[in-house]
Amino acid sequence: MKSSSPATPKTGTDYKRLYKKLESALDRIERLEDVSAMLTGIVQIFVSEFKDELGFENARLYRREGEDFYLCCRVGPGDGAPIGYRVPRDYPAHRRTLEEGLVIIRPGDADFDAEIERSIGVSSTFAAIAIGEGNTHVLAFSVGGEAKEQNILYSLSAVRHVVTLKLEQQKLTGILEESRIIQESLLPAAPPRFEGYDIDGRSRPTEIVGGDLFDYLPLSGDLLGVAIADASGHGLPAALLARDVITGLRVSTDANLKVVRSIERLNGVIHRAALSSKFISLFYGEFERNGTLIYCNAGHNPPLLRRARTFEELDRGGLVLGPNPAARYERGHIHLRPGDTVVMYTDGLVERKDTRGRDFGLPRLRRLLRQTDGATAHETVEALFAACDRHAGRAPSRDDITVVVVRKL
């Protein structure tokens, strides 16, 4: 489907806020064991909580019976067809939803039949998704005002993945142990030897498998790629996406290929990944022996560059990976001097809570990095994990934690 969305923001900040709110909603939805309750919950949550971000005014849920779809739930104001209303099987908008899986259709489009939509109670733009194996259900949302197309595509794509995985979860149980073994084999067994640098990293999942990853990619004798990423959620779905990213990154990067082009190629790979659940943030940087660092931040927590008595956030890049295959990115460029340290981390570190619900936080992270000035990369990584655990105390960990430290000698 062609998109006429507004210009993409230069950073992933706005998407990160929507992503966090959406992640919370999807987490509640995933906890609903009954499939019918889950689908009804999606309709209710998105109409009641996402009107500002997505413009959804009302919603309808259709269930497949044979070759026909019948209205089984509606939420929001307005009159329309009664429960049990049958959607004409030859209606172009209906067929297009089943074929494409996710559509946005406006009044005036060739597939928009004003008479049929009026009978349902629709007079504005609507977005629809087909979900379940064999398209067992269709969810449709009426959009008020100007359609925020990019946000809608981003959000409903995530919903579709979550529901599909929920309906297929029995089939995926046997993949869990295999995923753990694969994930452990993909993560670095030891830091690389790269002249002029001291490097170390560590990742700790909150479940058997996790959605965090980091990797080192020796591109040439004078160039080393370093990546850290965080798939939304945790557990098996996030681990599968992390696997796709780490594999795609190794395929997409090349010493002769520009950083931004590598990320854009990877974004396309992730968008097409059949088992991707939700989305993933990534920071990828290429370190040269002379101290040059070229990087791209795809919606990830900005790594901290610690030099002398200052901090700098490495935030140039673009959107998180996956939702928008046409996303464009920009690169960042810095020069590292002897003693400079780049600290990469995932949400699980700064958002680790203590027994009173207080986050570990970015200010505490900065204080610790001041205290570890002059420490080795390994000592810094271990100090951060230890401080995070002391802060949390008996509070359980609810997210994966990953830290990578690169220090210029």
Say if pTM beats, i.e. exceeds, 0.85. no
Is 145 in the same domain as 269?
no
4 found inside a domain:
no
Is 189 in the same domain as 274?
yes
346 three-state secondary structure: coil
* Helices 362-371/377-392 angle, 10° precision: 140
Count the Cβ atoms, other than its own, within 10 Å of residue 136: 17
Tokens 């795809």 belong to residue? 298
6 found inside a domain:
no
- Domain ends where: 148, 167, 186? 167
Is 116 in the same domain as 243?
no
Q: What is the pLDDT along the chain (409 residues), one digit of tens a residue?
A: 433 333 344 445 566 677 778 888 878 877 776 667 778 888 888 888 887 778 888 888 888 888 788 988 888 876 677 889 888 778 888 888 888 889 998 898 888 888 888 888 888 889 899 887 778 888 888 888 776 788 888 888 888 877 777 766 645 555 566 666 767 777 898 999 999 999 999 999 887 778 899 999 999 999 999 999 998 766 767 777 887 888 888 877 776 778 999 999 899 888 876 554 468 999 999 999 999 999 999 999 999 999 988 999 999 999 999 888 899 999 999 999 999 999 999 999 999 999 999 999 999 999 999 999 999 999 999 999 999 999 999 998 889 999 999 999 9
The number of folded domains in the chain is 2
- Domain ends where: 120, 140, 167? 167
2 found inside a domain:
no
Q: Which of 381, 344, 385, 322 is nearest to 225 (CA)?
A: 344
For residue 387, the domain's CATH number is 3.60.40.10
d(CA 298, CA 282): 5
Is 207 in the same domain as 108?
no
291 found inside a domain:
yes
248 found inside a domain:
yes
Is 326 in the same domain as 253?
yes
Range of the domain at 19: 13-167
For residue 131, the domain's CATH number is 3.30.450.40
What is the reported pLDDT for 285? Answer: 97
The pair of three-digit structure tokens given for residue 246, joined into one six-digit string: 């780490």
37 found inside a domain:
yes
What is the reported pLDDT for 343? Answer: 98
Q: Provide the β-strand partners of residue 75.
A: 59
Is 160 in the same domain as 224?
no
Length of the chain measured in residues:
409
Is 50 in the same domain as 103?
yes
Is 218 in the same domain as 100?
no
- Domain ends where: 143, 167, 191? 167
Q: Determine phi and psi for 298, rounding to 5 degrees.
A: -95, 80
Is 307 in the same domain as 211?
yes
Is 201 in the same domain as 159?
no
126 three-state secondary structure: strand
Is 155 in the same domain as 243?
no
d(CA 265, CA 363): 35
Is 182 in the same domain as 155?
no
305 found inside a domain:
yes
d(CA 364, CA 370): 10
Burial 231-250 (b: 16+ CB within 10 A, else e): bbbbbbbbbbbbbbbbebbe
33 found inside a domain:
yes
Q: Which of 28, 55, 366, 404 is nearest to 230 (CA)?
A: 404
d(CA 118, CA 48): 23
Q: What is the DSSP string of 17-70?
A: HHHHHHHHHHHHHHT--SHHHHHHHHHHHHHHH-HHHH-EEEEEEEEEETTEEE
What is the reported pLDDT for 3? Answer: 39
What is the reported pLDDT for 174? Answer: 56
Count the Cβ atoms, other than its own, within 10 Å of residue 32: 15
